[in-house]
Structure 1
Amino acid sequence: MRPTVLFVCVANICRSPVAERLFELRLADAGFGGSVEVASAGVRAIDGREMAPESQRTLVERGGNAERFGSRICDTELLAHADLVLTATRGIRSAMLADTPQALRRSFTLTEFVALAEEVVARGPAPEDMASLIASCAMVRGSVPVPEPDIADPYGKAPKNYDLAAEQIDDAVTRLAALLGPIVA
């Protein structure tokens, strides 16, 4: 069974769908397409909404595809199925964990997890599977500096805010694909 990565934001129409689609694309670009089940959800989502138009635009500009996307609520069943949960912000992570505290050890902000995983791999030896990498990241949480742990919500703001969020997400998921791809393939 393929490991599952779940991206979470507030409404699942801006940051988390961009992360979902770009991560799938970056895994494929690195030769690891299909090796990870990728999903997204929102802590206050309404099921079935389309991605925000500006998020669609910035996703397509980065080579992604916004077709056939429908938002969904982040519930306990979805969280129980996910091997790794990556949120847009610390606040979203806290809100999610208030309802599902058992997801703590496998929940991080996206940028936090990438920084922790890069540090774990650099210290060596590199973990042999995703579960080991996640466990190692949970152990070093708080001891590795994360310059920008949150990705600001662009919803309702100028297009440049969507571009900035997508740029941060693309950088993080590209690095994440390079880290996870080899250990899940």
Structure 2
Amino acid sequence: MSYRVCFVCTGNICRSPMAESVFRARVEEAGLDGVVEVDSAGTGGWHEGDGADSRTVAVLEAGGYGSGHTARRFRAAWFSRLDLVIALDSGHLRDLRRLAPTPEDADKVRLLRSYDPAVGDDPDVPDPYYGRLNDFEACLEMVEAASHGLLAAVQRELEGRAA
């Protein structure tokens, strides 16, 4: 049985595809690519069917990550098949918890940077869409920093299931 993680940002063209790509690489490095499924979506459907933002693609490729992606909107019905829903900022966290059909589903929603022990006072990954390439690079650094802690949490969860 797979463990399913879905990253969610606003339009699913910048932050969440970046997080999806980085986390998928961490999962593969850990030898869990047959066990952990990684996906992403947006809270809105403005970009459904589009690829990732070109700056996201550039930053991912420069970092050695895959960049194939098609944007889509997160649906409440998905909660039943997901183990973890990772919000990229506090607004997404609030929106997703409101969308959750049950309290148990709402408990599946976490902030990405809550897995970064060095997060500081601002737990959000800021939206780089209206920024410059260096904003996308900063976003990638935040995503990478949190991905290690997220992977450790998922590994603990998988160990708990096996016990």
After TM superposition, the score normalised by the length of structure 2 is: 0.86
Higher alpha-carbon deviation: 51-60 or 23-32: 23-32
Q: Which runs of 5+ in 1 are unaligned?
A: 119-144
Please state how far the C-alpha of 1:62 moved relative to its aligned partner.
1.8
Of 90, 101, 110, the residue aligned with 2:112 is 110
What are the residue-to-residue correspondences of 1:124-163 with 2, within 5 Å?
147-163=121-137
Contact 2:76 2:101 in 1 (8 A): no
Whole-angstrom CA distance in 1 between matches of 2:101 and 2:83: 14
Instruction: Tell me which residue corresponds to 1:94.
Output: 94
Instruction: Tell me which residue corresponds to 1:124.
Output: none
Instruction: Tell me which residue corresponds to 1:174.
Output: 148
Give secondary structure in 2 for the equivalent of 1:38. strand
Contact 1:30 1:181 in 2 (8 A): no
Letter in 2 for 1:108: R
Could you say which structure has the higher helix fraction?
Answer: 1
Letter in 2 for 1:33: D
Higher alpha-carbon deviation: 41-50 or 100-109: 100-109
Cα root mean square deviation, aligned: 2.0
What are the residue-to-residue correspondences of 1:1-185 with 2, within 5 Å?
1-45=1-45, 46-67=47-68, 69-100=69-100, 102=102, 103-112=105-114, 114=115, 147-181=121-155, 183-184=157-158
Identity %: 28
Please state how far the C-alpha of 1:178 moved relative to its aligned partner.
3.3
Q: Which runs of 5+ in 2 are unaligned?
A: none
Contact 1:11 1:44 in 2 (8 A): yes
Please state how far the C-alpha of 1:106 moved relative to its aligned partner.
1.0
Whole-angstrom CA distance in 2 between matches of 1:60 and 1:148: 27
Letter in 1 for 2:53: A
Aligned pair count? Answer: 155
Contact 1:4 1:81 in 2 (8 A): yes
Higher alpha-carbon deviation: 93-102 or 17-26: 93-102
Letter in 2 for 1:172: A
Please state how far the C-alpha of 1:146 moved relative to its aligned partner.
5.8
Please state how far the C-alpha of 1:147 moved relative to its aligned partner.
3.3
Over 3 Å counting, the alpha-carbon distance change for 1:97 and 1:180 in structure 2 is closer
Whole-angstrom CA distance in 1 between matches of 2:148 and 2:28: 11
Please state how far the C-alpha of 1:14 moved relative to its aligned partner.
0.4
Whole-angstrom CA distance in 2 between matches of 1:94 and 1:182: 26
Contact 1:36 1:184 in 2 (8 A): no
1:46-101 per-residue CA deviation (whole Å, 9 max, x = no partner) reads: 3211000010111112221112x101101112233211111001111112222325
Please state how far the C-alpha of 1:31 moved relative to its aligned partner.
2.7
